[in-house]
Amino acid sequence: MTDIRLWLDDIRPAPAGWTVAHSVNEAVTLLLTGNVVEASLDHDLGDYHEDGGDGYRLADYMAEHDIWPRDGVHVHSANPVGRDRILGTVNRYGPYDTDQH
């Protein structure tokens, strides 16, 4: 089993060691492997928005299906409202003891 660090973003390249998903559907496919140990989400996915939604939709999916990366969910979005929406879901439904960043 290979640990996956999921980077959801349609524009920014993934940092070294991270696996990029350009859409929520791509991200869900990775989550369903059971190998995602950490995730960093962008809110606005531009052209990929129609392919499953935005970063908030992925956080909502994780909450609905109780699929959470072991090492946390972070948000790297420049959209402050979107960031707060994602973190609200993660902090309310996620299994983490502290606020994620």
Q: Each residue's pLDDT tens digit in the chain (101 positions)?
A: 799 999 999 999 999 999 999 999 999 999 999 999 999 999 988 765 566 678 999 999 999 999 999 999 999 999 999 999 999 999 999 999 755 55
Helix (H, G, I), strand (E, B) or coil at 27: helix
Domains in the chain, CATH or no CATH each? 4-93 (3.40.50.2300)
The structure's pTM equals 0.89
Separation CA 65–CA 83 (nearest Å): 21
Eight-state DSSP code of residue 13: P
Task: Report yes or no: 12 and 46 within 8 Å, Cβ to Cβ.
Answer: no
34: left (phi over 0), alpha (psi -120 to 50) or beta: left
